[in-house]
Structure 1
Amino acid sequence: MAKKNTAAAVQIDIGISDKDRKKIADGLSRLLADTYTLYLKTHNFHWNVTGPMFNTLHLMFEGQYNELALAVDAIAERIRALGVHAPGSYKDFAKLSSIPEADGVPAAEEMIRQLVQGQEAVARTAREIFAAADAANDQPTADLLTQRLQTHEKTAWMLRSMLA
């Protein structure tokens, strides 16, 4: 006798409506795509940076892409906790992300400029989700968004300071 799949029959009842969970998860999916795209761009720049600031930027970019890798997991797991499948392909991320890919290998200063723009884009995406999370009384998502905003705004400031 085959086992019956009971997982599909279990309804999610965490105090957030299906419609609100879907709306929040859709926003988080955009945040996931932006975060993953920024992760790839930052890792690419870590590998390919050259010039007099090589060591400083190589190490800085490494710290940033490691932080982004952890963030990707936290965002995807929050989407799953809301009962929605997290996007996980380049094709999905390309459709959802607001961050453009780098063309070729830019000079170090242009890398910094693009990463400032990427950090700010992720912050804007995170901020856009707040209204839906607040309206649904979704404190875990609001907490995640607050943490992401704090990190991206601080990182953008640090990168921007290198261009002054």
Structure 2
Amino acid sequence: MTDHIITSSFASRQLGTPTDLGADATRDISAGLTGLLADVFALYLKTKNFHWHMSGPNFRDYHLLLDEQADQIFAMTDPIAERARKIGGTTLRSVSDIAGRQRILDNNADYVDPLDMLAELHGDNKQLVAEMRRVHDLCDRYADVATASLIEVWIDETERRSWFLYESSRTSVIR
């Protein structure tokens, strides 16, 4: 019975982390980070989907490229969520929460041509960079240099993924 009372007391408290950022900053930046997190999870799963379903003459190279990129994408998830919590916000709670917030579109096709996979992921990474820049602007508005700094690293990593996908999907040789 004592455990139940302690649990109920804990459950009734609001999550909150002390921060010097104002309530508006906490609300807006954590919402932006949560949207990014949903997109990152969607991009991670799409990248793994294409990794698992890759085929064709460049299978090995593309398969390994997408596996490496998926690992890098997944590595962003915990820092994004924890940053939202560090500034006093909350973040994703479930797969349905991700589905309700993601802007990166799913691809459930039975077959996707390998070059179309790379082109689609290239576009998705470019879209993610645009969303990151939007959240970075929020950070600048509220002087949240720590979140902005993290986002700058993620933008660089995402632009690199986009570049590799673009170059890997080129079909003509420049002379």
- Alignment TM-score, normalising by the size of structure 1: 0.91
| Mapped pair 1:76 → 2:70 | no
Q: Distance in 2 between matches of 1:13 and 1:133?
A: 18
Deviations 1:82-131, CA, capped at 9 Å, x for gaps: 22221132221122111111131301001001110111111111000112
1:5-59 C-alpha deviation (Å, 9 max, x unpaired): 4994796442100121110000111100111000000001111100011000111
Return the alpha-carbon distance in structure 1 between the equivalents of residues 105 and 10 of structure 2.
41
Q: 2:153 matched to which residue of 1? A: 147
1: CA distance between counterparts of 2:138 and 2:122? 26
Determine the C-alpha separation between the residues in 2 that align with 1:12 and 1:42: 34
Q: How does 1:103-142 map to 2 (within 5 A)?
A: 103-104=108-109, 105-142=111-148
Question: Which residues of structure 2 form unaligned runs of 5+?
Answer: 171-175
Structure with max Cα Rg? 2
Identity %: 27
* SS, match of residue 88 in structure 1: coil
5+ residue gaps, structure 1, are none
- TM-score calculated relative to the size of structure 2: 0.86
Q: Does residue 56 in structure 1 map to residue 56 in structure 2?
A: no
What is the number of residues matched between the two proteins? Answer: 164
Q: What whole-Å deviation, never above 9, does each CA across 1:122-146 have from its counterpart, x for those lacking one? A: 1111000112111211111101110
Runs of 4+ residues over 6 Å off in structure 1 = none
RMSD: 2.0
